[in-house]
Structures are given as C-alpha cells and as structure tokens.
C-alpha cells in the first residue's frame, strides 16, 4: 500500500479513451489507467459516442488507480472531458443523436461537423454574443449542433430531450446527481456569459426559443466555477460503481484542454532561466496537443482576438480572462498522413522490429538522413515540400471550417523516405499554424514569452523542438507528462477543501520538468517556409473563388 495520507483522482475522457490517475498533493501521479471508448463514424463529418460506454470506462479506470489505497484516503475527484454534446431524455436515459435511431449513440463528438450549415446561418445573425467566439461560431460548438438536432431529428430526439449536457457536466451529473453546469463548458461552448448569463435574444433569433421558455432547464440554470464542490459529493450508486466512498467530494468539471492548462501553467519556474520567471502568469501560453490542439492565453483584462475564441472570464483560472485558439486536427492529421501513405506497412514493420514507436523510428530516420546530407538538423530537408494542415477546417485564427489540407512538392516516388519527409513537413506545418495563432494573439495585445506544452504530441521531441524553433520561444514540459490528469485532480483537491483556492492547488501540484530552448540556426528557413504557408491558404481561397464564379 502507498504510504501517504491524502489523494485525489483525476478523470480525463479524451477522444479515444477514458483515463484516470491517482495524484498526491504535490502533483505526483502515483498510478494511472486507461480504457478505450467507442466512436461511430456513420458518414463523413458525423462522429458519435455513448455516454453509458464512457461512464463504464470511467468506472473501470478509477477502480484500477485506487486499488492500492483505502477509499477514505481519496479526498476528491475531478472530471474533464472533450467538449462533446450529450443528449438524455426526461428520465436521464440516453437519447439518440444518430439518423439510424440507436439511443446508445447519444453523444455528438466534439469533432463532428454535421452542423456546418447551421453554424453559417447562425453567423449571418451577427449577434452580439458572437464577438466572444472570435466573431464566428464553430460547428464544433453546441448551438449549431442543437439546431441540427432540432431540424433533422425532431421527433426522435429533440421533442423527447430532457437534458442537454456538455460531456464534462454529464460526468459530474452522473457522479453526484446534480445538474449544475461548469462555467467553463457554458462560456466556452454554449455562449453563456459570466456577467450577463444567457442571452434570450440569441436563442430566439437562431430558432431555439424553446430552450428559453423553461428558464434554460434543459441546458443549465445552475452554474458553478471550476473546482467548486458539486452537490453532496458522490451518490451511493456512483460510489459503488467507481469503488469510492459515498460523499467523496467532486469538483465542478473542465473541458479537457482547459484541465491541461490548469495542470501546468501555474508551475514555479524559478531557476530554469525562462523569460516568464519574473512575469505574470499571463506571459505563459498553454499548448495542449493531442488529436487536436488548443492554445490557451490568459489576460487580466478582456482581449478580443479575431478568429480566436473568447475572451472567456474565469473559464480556466478564476479571475482571469481566457482566449482559446486551436487546431481542429493535429495528432489526427499526423496519423492520417502516415497511415494512408503507401510506405506505411514497411514503416510499421521496421518500427516494430527496431522496438520503436512509429514516430520514434521516423525521427531517427530523419536524423540519419540529415547526417548523410551533412546537415546540422533535419529541419531543412523539406525546403521544397509544403503542407497546409487544415484537413478538418481551420479553427484559429481564420475560423473557416471549409478549408482543407494542401500539399505542394509531391513526386512520383512513394517510398519510406518520401513518407518520412512528408511527416516532417506536416509537423512543421502544424508548428506554423501555432505561429499563426500566436501572432494573432500578440497582435491583439497578449504578451507571451513562454510556451507550456502537454498532451500526447508533447512526448514527440521533433514536434516540441519544431514548435520552439518556429515560434522562437522556449517550451516548458511539465514534470508529470499527464498534465491533463493532474489538472482534473486539482479540481478534486480544491473541492475537498484541502486547498483554499484553485491557484494554491495549482502552485503545489504543477511542476516544471524540462525546458527546450529554440534553435536560431534555421530561423531564416522557417521564416521563408512560413511565408509559403500563408500563401497556400491565400491560394486555396482564390481557387475556391474561381470555382464559385459564374
């Protein structure tokens, strides 16, 4: 048995799995577990999941990570999840979001773009609330998805709906029985305002006035700040399912990316020779990179950034405004580029035989290729190969879901070397996307000097170093690679009463691991490739204009 007195459980539901960690009050992850969750993709742009499947996965992983401690030692639980839409009927049972009618499939996944046309219609209203989402609402947000459900599944779904949750809020409801919502979820994805609450005129104007008539009971009329204790803690039934004690504190939830920011951005950086050491926390950009990426920028005052979501008040750190940039597909784009290439079977076999992951093998291969060509780094291997990486639309700073991926510089060959070079060009393109977002943030008034990075892609040295080199900023990697889980645990720690504020919990539980400084030797090269990067989207829009002309 582990010999410490107080522990906290962080639960993170990502796109493909549910994870949990047992964390102590210093932020050390003592045990970790993961369980897959199912996704249905019945047609392009439609992605659906099951809330029952996700809850069962959460119960499995929580039981695993707490198996070595007494349940009375677990002081609090925090949940985070993707910003996906959950539909339940009036009795709290799953309600279909699928054209095929299966009630099991009751979640519209965050990356679902079925509501693109509805989002476009909402944006034509130019309603005042849209200025808080960069001027244009995304099909990944709740209002367009709700409008799609009303227009396409009225009888099967809309008319029977009793609860419409963001997935993080569904998890706290399932754990506590309380239908309170997180300020994070509602502000960031539902157009709620911390000061003005719901805008009746917005919902009426977009055709969802029926949500107003019952005082927003279906989408949230009780709102709490992240980390505040939800209800009376775990219900008896939830405690049994999770293997914990009834009444264990549950913190108000966060969206997964925001939990990642919470779990690392407050770390003490003294002694690491970082420019942000003597600067406020607002000088730190949190970059949470996995299937997609989120770029979290804090500010003391509200800053409006065209094409970037927010500003959102107290959505991540209490008392501070948040702007949220992002890329709709990052890890997913890298996987797509690799796995659809003709040389993937060869790559997979060679990586397996060498005992390396696919990315490790590719990184080593590129280093060898650079050495053979007497280059100081692999970066300049792809000077004639350019990628625009928005295979799933542009979230920031262009806010254009219609954009698609582009590649310039392909040849007739399709061997392992071609795959490795395309992988490198894609990684660079994603870093240029971060630079694009960073320039928009700084141009609007943010003063950012350091990147803090977590998520699956932060474990890829090439991805991390490329971001440092392209942005010219140092990248901080947290002591605990699982910062999202630490962030979720911080919610439980605060809810337990063991910390007086979220900030004090952040200061104790977030820690610096390693720091990667930017290399300046390839700066001119990256500046030129970035200029090509910007030209590519200009060209794509020009092509679209030509094809739409009469």
CATH code assigned at 355 = 1.20.58.2240
DSSP 414-437: -SHHHHHHHHHHHHHHHHHHHHHH
Tell me phi and psi for residue 332, to 5 degrees. Answer: -65, -35
Distance, in Å, from the CA atom of 121 to the CA atom of 450, rounded to the nearest integer, reads: 38
**Residue 528 is assigned to a structural domain of this protein:** yes
- Is 375 among the domain residues? yes
- Does residue 87 sit within a domain? no
Q: Is residue 509 part of a domain?
A: no
Q: Is residue 533 part of a domain?
A: yes
Structure confidence at residue 5 (pLDDT): 83
| Owning domain of residue 415 | 331-435+521-548
Distances in Å between the alpha carbon of 466 and those of 360, 405, 454? 15, 20, 15
In a domain, 350, yes or no: yes
> Does any domain span residue 315?
no
The separation between CA 248 and the C-alpha centre of its own chain, rounded to angstroms, equals 27
Give the strands of the sheet with 7-13, arranged side by side. Answer: 29-36, 17-24, 7-13, 74-81, 249-255
The contacts of residue 135 (CB under 8 Å, 6+ apart) are 306, 307, 399
Residue 338 lies in a domain: yes
pLDDT at 475: 98
Torsion from C-alpha of 237, 241, 242, 244, nearest 10 degrees: 50
Low-confidence ranges of the chain (pLDDT < 50): 1-3
What are 29's strand-pairing partners?
23
**Secondary structure of 446-483 in HEC code, one letter for each residue:** CCCCEEEEECHHHHCHHHHHHHHHHHCCCEEEECCCCH
State the total domains in the chain: 1
For residue 397, cis peptide bond before it (omega within 30 degrees of 0): yes
**Interaxial angle between packed helices 116-123 and 142-152, expressed in degrees from 0 to 180 and rounded to the nearest 10:** 110
Count CA atoms within 13 Å of residue 383 on its CB side: 11
The torsion angles phi and psi of 89, rounded to 5 degrees, stand at -85, -175
For CA atoms 185, 191, 196, 198, give the dihedral sign.
Answer: negative
- Helices 358-372 and 416-444 pack at an angle, to 10 degrees, of 100
Distance CA 107, CA 85 (A): 5
């Amino acid at each position: 048995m582990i010999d410490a007195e107080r522990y906290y459980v962080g639960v993170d539901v990502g796109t493909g799995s549910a994870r949990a960690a047992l964390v102590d009050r210093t932020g050390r992850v003592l045990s970790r577990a993961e369980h897959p969750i199912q996704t249905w993709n019945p047609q392009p742009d439609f992605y659906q999941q099951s809330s029952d499947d996700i809850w069962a996965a959460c119960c499995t992983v929580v039981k695993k990570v707490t198996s070595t401690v007494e349940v009375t030692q677990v002081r609090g639980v925090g949940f985070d999840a993707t910003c996906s839409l959950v539909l339940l009927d009036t009795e709290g049972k799953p309600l279909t979001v699928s054209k095929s009618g299966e009630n099991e499939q009751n979640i519209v996944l965050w990356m679902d773009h079925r509501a693109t046309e509805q989002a476009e219609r909402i944006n034509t209203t130019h309603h005042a609330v849209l200025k808080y989402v960069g001027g244009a609402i995304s099909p990944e947000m709740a209002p367009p998805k709700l409008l799609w459900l009303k227009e396409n599944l009225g009888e099967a779904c809309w008319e029977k709906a009793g609860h419409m949750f963001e997935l993080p809020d569904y998890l706290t409801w399932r754990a506590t029985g309380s239908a309170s919502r997180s300020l994070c979820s509602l502000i960031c994805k539902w157009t709620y305002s911390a000061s003005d609450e719901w805008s009746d005129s917005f919902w009426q104007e977009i055709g969802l006035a029926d949500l107003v008539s019952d005082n927003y009971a279906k989408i949230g009329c009780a709102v709490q700040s992240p980390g505040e204790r939800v209800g009376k803690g775990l219900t008896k039934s939830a405690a049994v399912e999770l293997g914990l004690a009834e009444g264990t504190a549950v913190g108000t939830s966060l969206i997964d990316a925001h939990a990642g920011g919470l779990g690392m951005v407050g770390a003490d950086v003294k002694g690491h020779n970082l420019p942000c050491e003597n600067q406020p926390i607002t000088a730190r950009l949190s970059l949470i990179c996995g299937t997609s990426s989120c770029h979290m920028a804090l500010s003391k005052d509200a800053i409006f950034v065209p094409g970037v979501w927010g500003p959102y008040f107290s959505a991540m750190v209490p008392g501070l405004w948040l702007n949220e940039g992002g890329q709709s597909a990052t890890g997913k784009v890298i996987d797509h580029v690799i796995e659809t290439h003709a040389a993937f079977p060869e790559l997979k076999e060679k990586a397996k035989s060498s005992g390396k992951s696919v990315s490790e093998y590719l990184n080593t291969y590129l280093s060898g290729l650079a050495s053979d060509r007497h280059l100081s780094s692999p970066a300049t291997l792809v000077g004639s190969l350019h990628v625009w990486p928005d295979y799933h639309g542009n979230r920031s700073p262009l806010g254009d879901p219609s954009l698609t991926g582009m590649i310039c510089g392909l040849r007739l060959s399709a061997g392992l070397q071609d795959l490795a070079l395309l992988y490198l060009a894609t990684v660079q393109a994603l870093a240029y996307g971060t630079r694009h977002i960073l320039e928009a943030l700084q141009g609007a008034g943010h003063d950012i000097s350091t990147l803090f990075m977590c998520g699956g892609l932060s474990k890829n040295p090439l991805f991390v170093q490329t971001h440092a080199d392209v942005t010219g900023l140092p990248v901080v990697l947290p002591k605990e690679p699982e910062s999202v889980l630490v962030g979720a645990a911080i919610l439980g720690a605060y809810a337990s009463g063991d910390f007086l504020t979220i900030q004090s919990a952040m200061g104790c539980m977030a820690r610096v691991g390693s720091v990667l400084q930017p290399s300046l030797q390839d700066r001119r090269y990256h500046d030129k490739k970035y200029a090509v990067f910007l030209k590519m989207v200009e060209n794509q829009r020009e092509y679209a204009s030509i094809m739409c002309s009469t």
